[in-house]
């Protein structure tokens, strides 16, 4: 191991009901000493743990990120000690030496030699915003599941509404579903509920709405529609709360929104996952690795076995992929040009991941330097290899039997 960095430190092995703590220190004569204790996880026990560490004059503390059990420990200790949170896989004890006390001793020993790779833990306000954002994502996913269940019920009743209507849960679709639940079975009257441009499809709607509904179908449609409205109400409340909590971070959100494809709600989600200070990441490559948006390394004997991305922060990666998909549909932008260029050769999924990586690198530089996004233009790659493109298209035209004479545009006049 490397030389001792901290003369006094403490390692914590955190569980649901107990915490195995070990303090290690170096005596004036150079002798290494340690003391271990087991504490509970109630607030009084955590205060007693903090008092015990203060009696040993400990300043540096390390613990594993065990489920959600580390959070109350962190909340109580973070303002009184220099706390490091580590991925359990990165500080795993040696095989055959796995006990709670020995895990605490092992963490303390690694910390004493500064061998504990700390995980990124954002400030409390950012963590609270992140909890709101992740809960909203879960509710949105549940809403999608409920919408799919509604579609399955309609298919079971042989109502082909989705074959005619783009959004079954749009304004017209909901009016029709409510009428069906109330007992309306006449396809003509149901089709007449269509609004705006959907009225052009009334003949198709009459055929699609001619199904075989029974009370069982109506019962489940009622339950699913009620559940859908409940979820939409909760999503709205969470979005309002996210907007209120994100006001102190308006500058960072404004920077995110200068990137094509990113709107306020998505920008708020990205701020909740990364925060507004990227100084804890030495470079954009470190941030991309933490997010799981860079190729993995698995090489042995000179052979590369796999390059799949690591898991990383799945919530951040999902949000960045959403941003990449939005950017790919913008007009005359560098990110859209990059997406089309890569999708043609590597496929849509790889292109989306590559654009998400690019967005994250751009965001790192913006947040670090406090500068807005500078658009390179949709013709950036054409300008980058302009001479090569000229030769390529001239060769293609010559292969088609056309004589080509190139002149500069200003000289052609």
Where in the chain are the domains?
A: 8-112, 125-245, 249-369, 383-413
The pLDDT assigned to 413 comes to 46
How many angstroms separate the Cα of 240 from the Cα of each of 129, 136, 163, 228? 12, 11, 34, 18
pLDDT at 99: 80
In this structure, of 57-61, 301-305, 308-312, 314-318, the range with the lowest mean pLDDT score is 301-305
- CA–centroid distance for 322 within its chain: 9
Percent of the chain with pLDDT over 90: 67
Long-range contacts of 134-137 (CB under 8 A, 24+ apart): 134/315, 135/238, 136/235, 136/238, 136/239, 136/242, 137/269, 137/315, 137/318
Q: Using CA atoms, how far apart are residues 154 and 172, in angstroms rounded to an integer?
A: 16
Q: State how beta strands 303-306 and 60-64 pair.
A: unpaired
Say yes or no: do domains 8-112 and 125-245 share a fold. Answer: no
Three-state secondary structure call for residue 252: helix
- Residue of 277, 280, 288 whose CA lies nearest to 252: 277
Q: Are 21 and 38 in contact (CB under 8 A)?
A: yes
| Cβ within 8 Å of residue 20, ≥6 positions away | 12, 13, 36, 37, 38, 100, 101, 103, 104
Q: Greatest CA separation found in the chain? A: 95
- Residue with the two structure tokens 């406090």: 370
Closest CA to 260 of 350, 347, 369, 380: 380
Q: Would you place residue 100 in the very low, low, confident or very high pLDDT band (cuts 50, 70, 90)?
A: confident
Residue 387 has pLDDT above 90, yes or no: no
Class of domain 125-245 as given by CATH:
mainly alpha
Average pLDDT, the chain: 90
Tokens of 6: 């901290």
For residue 44, the model assigns a pLDDT of 96
**CATH architecture under which domain 8-112 falls:** 2-Layer Sandwich (3.30)
Q: What are phi and psi of 95, to 5 degrees?
A: -60, 140
Q: Can you point out the beta strands (E) in 162-296?
A: none
Residue with tokens 């997406």: 339
Q: What is the pLDDT of residue 94?
A: 66
Q: What is the pLDDT of residues 244-298, one digit of tens each?
A: 999 999 999 999 999 999 999 999 999 999 999 898 889 999 999 889 888 766 6
Q: 366 with 255: CB under 8 angstroms? A: yes
Q: What residues are paired with 34 via a beta bridge? A: 24
Q: How confident is the model at residue 63 (pLDDT cuts 50, 70, 90)?
A: very high
Look at residue 298 and give its three-state secondary structure: strand
Token output for 41? 């996880």
184: tokens are 């309306």
Question: pTM score, two decimals?
Answer: 0.84
| 125-130: long-range contacts, CB 8 A cutoff, minimum separation 24 | 125/245, 125/248, 126/271, 126/272, 126/275, 126/276, 128/245, 129/242, 129/245, 129/246, 129/268, 129/271, 129/272, 130/272, 130/273, 130/315
Q: Residue 295's CB: how many other CB atoms inside 10 A? A: 15
pLDDT confidence of residue 344: 93
């Amino acid at each position: 191991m490397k030389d001792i960095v901290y003369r006094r430190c403490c390692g914590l092995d955190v569980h649901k009901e107990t915490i195995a703590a070990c303090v290690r220190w170096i005596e004036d004569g150079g002798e290494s000493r340690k003391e271990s204790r087991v504490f509970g996880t109630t607030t009084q026990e955590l205060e007693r743990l903090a008092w015990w560490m203060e009696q040993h004059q400990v300043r540096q503390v390390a613990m594993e990120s065990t489920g959600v059990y580390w959070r109350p420990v962190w909340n109580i200790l973070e303002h009184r000690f220099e706390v490091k949170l580590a991925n359990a896989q990165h500080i795993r004890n040696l095989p055959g030496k796995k006990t709670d006390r020995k895990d605490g001793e092992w963490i303390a020993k690694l910390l004493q030699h500064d061998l504990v790779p700390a995980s990124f833990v954002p400030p409390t306000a950012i963590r609270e915003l992140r909890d709101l954002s992740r809960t909203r994502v879960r509710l949105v996913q549940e809403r999608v599941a409920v919408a799919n269940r509604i579609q399955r019920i309609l298919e079971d009743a042989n109502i082909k509404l989705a074959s005619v209507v783009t959004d079954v849960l749009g304004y017209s679709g909901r009016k029709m579903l409510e009428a069906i639940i109330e007992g309306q079975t006449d396809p003509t009257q149901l089709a007449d509920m269509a609004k705006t441009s959907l009225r052009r499809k009334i003949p198709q709607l009459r055929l699609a709405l001619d199904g075989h509904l029974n009370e069982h179908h109506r019962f489940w449609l009622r339950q699913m529609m009620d559940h859908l409205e409940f979820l939409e109400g909760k999503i709205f409340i969470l979005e309002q709360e996210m907007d209120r909590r994100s006001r102190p971070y308006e500058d960072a959100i404004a920077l995110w929104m200068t990137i094509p494809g990113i709107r306020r709600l998505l920008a708020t989600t990205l701020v909740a996952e990364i925060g507004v200070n990227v100084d804890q990441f030495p470079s954009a490559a470190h941030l991309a690795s933490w997010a799981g948006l860079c190729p993995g390394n698995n090489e042995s004997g000179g052979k590369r076995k796999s390059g799949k991305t690591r898991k990383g922060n799945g919530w951040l990666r999902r949000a960045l992929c959403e941003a990449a998909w939005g950017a790919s549909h913008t007009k005359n932008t560098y990110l859209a040009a990059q997406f089309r260029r890569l999708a043609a050769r590597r496929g849509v999924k790889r292109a989306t991941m590559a654009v998400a990586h690019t967005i994250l690198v751009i965001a790192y530089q913006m947040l670090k330097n406090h500068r807005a996004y500078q658009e390179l233009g949709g013709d950036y790659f054409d300008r980058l290899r302009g001479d090569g493109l000229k030769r390529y298209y001239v060769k293609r035209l010559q292969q088609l039997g056309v004589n080509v004479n190139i002149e500069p545009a200003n000289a052609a006049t």
